[in-house]
Amino acid sequence: MKKITLLVIVLAVSSTSLFAQPGKGIRWSRDGRATLKAEPEGIVASPLSGAAPTVVVPSSQYTPAGTAKALPIRDFYFSADEKKLLIYTNAKKVWRYETRGDYWLLDLASGKMQQLGKDKPASSLMFAKLSPDGSKAAYVSDHNLYVEDLKTGETKALTTNGTRRFINGTFDWAYEEEFGCRDGFRWSPDSKSIAYWQIDATKIRDFLMINNTDSIYSFTVPVEYPVAGESPSACRVGVVDIQTAGTQWLEVPGDAQQHYIPRMEWVPGKKQLIIQQLNRKQNDSKIMLCDATNGKVRTLYEEKDSAWIDVKSRWDDDNIAGWDFIRNGKEFIWVSEQDGWRHLYNVNAENGKATLLTPGNYDVISIAKIDEANNQIWFMASPDNATQQYLYKISLSGGKAERVTPADQPGTHEYHISPSSSWAIHQFSNACTYPVSENLELPGHTSSTQAVAKAIRESASAGKCVEYFQVQTADGVTIDGWMHKPVNFNPSKKYPVVFYVYGEPAGATTLDAIGAGRNFLYNGDMAADGYIYVSMDNRGTPLPKGRYWRKSIYRKVGVLNARDQAQAAQALMKKYAFIDPARTAVWGWSGGGSMTLNLLFQYPEIYKTGIAIAAVGNQLTYDNIYQERYMGLPEENREDFVKGSPITYAHNLQGNLLYIHGTGDDNVHYQNAEMLLNELIKNNKQIQFMAYPNRTHSISEGSGTFTHLSTLYTNYLRAHCEPGGK
């Protein structure tokens, strides 16, 4: 399950996939020397040099005729020749992201404005994109793909069979949630055709959520949701001709309902597509070249893993789109863990030969920029400290990595590098330094403001607020963690400890970034109230510690990660006599909620109080893409799913449990709460339970919700894990 973002951290943003997820990308000027942003006065260009910003498109130009106000811009992008501006507005959520809305096109020379798809329902268009030649636009509406002639305004349906269960040009819930797939079509380089995904969810059972509050009579809210053990939606890719609306389907081998196609792009300059196909267990990845004219397919490159294979969204801020071609499409950069570390490879696009570019015992965390003009790759890594992140570079032909981030800036860094690679937006934080941003000139990492260096000096003079530590478990595993001690700490006293946990492959909690040591849900100051706050990352979390660290959790979610956490807690309490073993609390959300339950149930001698939010109580209820990736197929090893599920151990509860769940959670269904409650009732285990009507996985909707949740959480913790030193 995807982690709820609880820590305020600096996130990487990709600008390579426009409208794949509106609002996520930095908009660069054509020369890469300025960023573009929608402000009240218009589209503003801000030079990275620090020169005065200028308005490049006044808001008066995108004020529709007959109205007094400019369009409220949610996102925008310029055509390749910068003669047209595409505006995204009136955005609405589709599950997690606002990917449905209205699109307007502004001709900058004539001032003409036109609304795309104006014959379609309001806020129904998705992923509108201009054709490469600028003559047409394509978009999805109501699960069908359309093309619109920009001169005549004539609209043509390229597909007509779309329904909630039969999806063209976008994806179902599971593909979106677990692969990051949203934008489901790509213009051909010659503007004559469009390649698109078609998802057939007609065989997927609906999970029915119940809305009891929005009308006197309750009603169901169906979500096509394949749980672990159920076959996924069938998927295929077709190329539709703009003139005829006829589709040539790619002849991809294998059962369409037992494989995934998470990636698809056009090969530069060719009538050819490149796709990635994964088998259902996601441990066999094939890269295929596909002839767009006849659908013929050949496998170029194949990789297998005894556990699972991650996809691009894993190391590109949830962005699955794009393909890292170099040398006019003759080669591309690929990320693989085949030698035990996450490394970059150069793959020949003709024969599939892969050449290692980043040798060494370290992980590439993410690619920041492939800079072919300067023959180098910029990437993020941290070979010596798994809780931090720095910028490195290597030659495009590979070799020894060179650190670019200064050695005196410890923490978590992000770099958004301009198209020309001459400038970068540098963002930084660590556990004691609030996020700060500066503009850099590359390759020298030169900043005129020295904002990051100044912020680090100021936070250092204020004193360290969070301590980082390592402990070794009884199994010999070295665990990283942070600890925030109470105000006026006295080591001769004993203090209660609150463990914040996640512990699954979707997220790490110990990063040296702002948010570490801070509990956003606690109504007050934990340190002032006398709590020790701790978080530790077990095996299976996505730290840059090598393939074995991350994948040792395979088929052991709920077992190995809980064991690591429990042994680490024991080692910590043995190391520090000021921790009171009688006052130990643990809490988490989503996968962290599951971990909280497993720790409380499996290790009741360690954990006395737990607060679990939106937890998966039974792994067999969660979606197949996530659960089968990390656990295998239930028909082959069902006992592992049972062994890792909290409900299996609910009868062991001895301490205090507060369980919280939203009844409208489309991600981790409320069903989990009721299954868990039944087990607790059967065994006469008394707990406190809170259901939030119609709230989703984030429990954020509705007036007063956060205040109520924070108050509930804080009161329970104070009541059952008494604060203060003794």
First to last CA, the chain: 39
Neighbour tally for 329: CB within 10 Å? 16
pLDDT by residue (tens digit) across 312-324? 998 888 899 999 9
Using the 8-state DSSP alphabet, how is residue 655 labeled?
S
Taking every pair of Cα atoms in the chain, the longest distance, rounded to a whole number of angstroms, is 81
How far is residue 361's CA from residue 401's CA, in Å, rounded to a whole number? 12
**Residue 242, helix vs strand vs coil:** coil
The DSSP symbol for 17 reads S
Does the structure show a pLDDT above 90 at 266? yes
Query: Distance between CA atoms of 443 and 451, rounded to whole angstroms?
Result: 18
Closest Cα partner for 547 from 366, 338, 297, 402?
A: 338
pLDDT band, very low/low/confident/very high, at 21 (cuts 50, 70, 90): very low
The continuous run of DSSP H or E covering 182 comes out as: none
pLDDT for the residue numbered 378: 97
For 94: left if phi > 0, alpha if psi spans -120 to 50, otherwise beta; the answer is beta
* Residue 357 · residue 349 · CB < 8 Å: no
Separation of alpha carbons 652 and 649, rounded Å: 6
CA distances from 664 to 211, 518, 623 (A): 7, 28, 16
Give percent helix, percent strand, percent coil of the chain, each to the nearest 5.
15, 35, 50
Query: How far apart (Å, rounded) are the C-alpha atoms in residues 625 and 627?
Result: 6
- pLDDT exceeds cutoff 60 at 496: yes
- Bond before 359 cis per omega within 30 degrees: no
SS3 440: strand
Sequence-distant (6+) residues with CB within 8 A of 613 are 587, 588, 589, 590, 592, 593, 660, 661, 699
| Cβ count near 721 (within 10 Å) | 24
Asked whether residue 389 carries a pLDDT value surpassing 90, the answer given is yes
CA 509, 511, 517 angle in degrees (round to 5)?
70
Gap between the Cα atoms of 689 and 680, Å rounded: 11
Q: What are 499-547's pLDDT values in tens digits?
A: 999 999 999 999 999 999 999 999 999 999 999 999 999 999 999 999 9
Among candidate residues 100, 84, 99, the one with its CA nearest the CA of residue 132: 84
Listed residue (378, 359, 371) closest to 326, CA to CA: 371
DSSP 572: H
Closest CA to 404 of 376, 456, 353, 444: 444
Strands (E), 280-374: 284-291, 297-304, 325-326, 331-336, 343-348, 354-356, 364-371
Q: Helix (H, G, I), strand (E, B), or coil: what is residue 64?
A: coil
Kindly report the CA angle at 276 between 273 and 280, in degrees rounded to 5? 140
Cα angle 453, 458, 459 (rounded to 5 degrees) comes to: 100
One-letter identity of residue 25 = G
Distance CA(248)–CA(237), nearest Å, equals 9
Q: What is the mean pLDDT of residues 695-707?
A: 96
Cα angle: 400, vertex 406, 407; to 5 degrees = 85
How far, in Å, CA of 548 to CA of 540, rounded? Answer: 9
Cβ-Cβ contacts under 8 Å for 482 (sequence gap 6 or more): 387, 431, 466, 467, 468, 469, 510, 512, 516, 517, 534, 535
Residue 137: name the closest of 125, 122, 119 by CA: 125
Q: What is the pLDDT of residues 437-494, one digit of tens each?
A: 999 999 999 999 999 999 999 988 877 689 999 999 999 999 999 999 999 999 999 9
* Amino acid letter, 284: D
Q: How many CA atoms lie within 13 A of 305 on its CB side?
A: 28
Percent of the chain with pLDDT over 70: 97
User: What number is the average pLDDT over the span 165-189?
Assistant: 96
Residue 454 sits at φ, ψ, to 5 deg, of -65, -45
Tally of residues, the chain = 726
pLDDT tens across 80-128, in order?
888 999 999 999 999 888 999 999 999 999 999 999 999 999 999 999 9
Do 507 and 3 contact (CB within 8 A), yes or no?
yes
Q: What is the pLDDT of residues 336-364, one digit of tens each?
A: 999 999 999 999 999 999 999 999 999 99
Per-chain mean pLDDT for the chain: 94
Reported as type and span, the H/E element at residue 591 is helix 591-602
Q: CA torsion sign, 720 to 721 to 725 to 726?
A: positive
Confidence of residue 68 (pLDDT cuts 50, 70, 90): confident
Mean pLDDT, rounded, for 159-164: 96
Say what the pTM is.
Answer: 0.94
704 CB-near residues (< 8 Å, 6+ apart): none
Segment (H or E) for 602 = helix 591-602
Dist. CA 158–CA 477, nearest whole Å: 56
d(CA 379, CA 364): 7
3-state secondary structure of 372: helix
Tokens at residue 293, please?
A: 């004219």
Q: How far apart are CA 638 and CA 549, in angstroms?
A: 24
Instruction: Label residue 517 left, alpha or beta by phi (over 0 means left) and psi (-120 to 50 means alpha).
Output: left
Candidate from 192-201, 308-317, 548-557 with smallest mean pLDDT: 308-317
Closest of 341, 286, 347, 330 to residue 311, by C-alpha: 286
pLDDT of residue 2: 57
Helices (H), 85-181: 173-179
Tell me the two tokens of residue 188: 């051909």
At 206-222, the pLDDT tens digits run 999 999 999 999 999 99
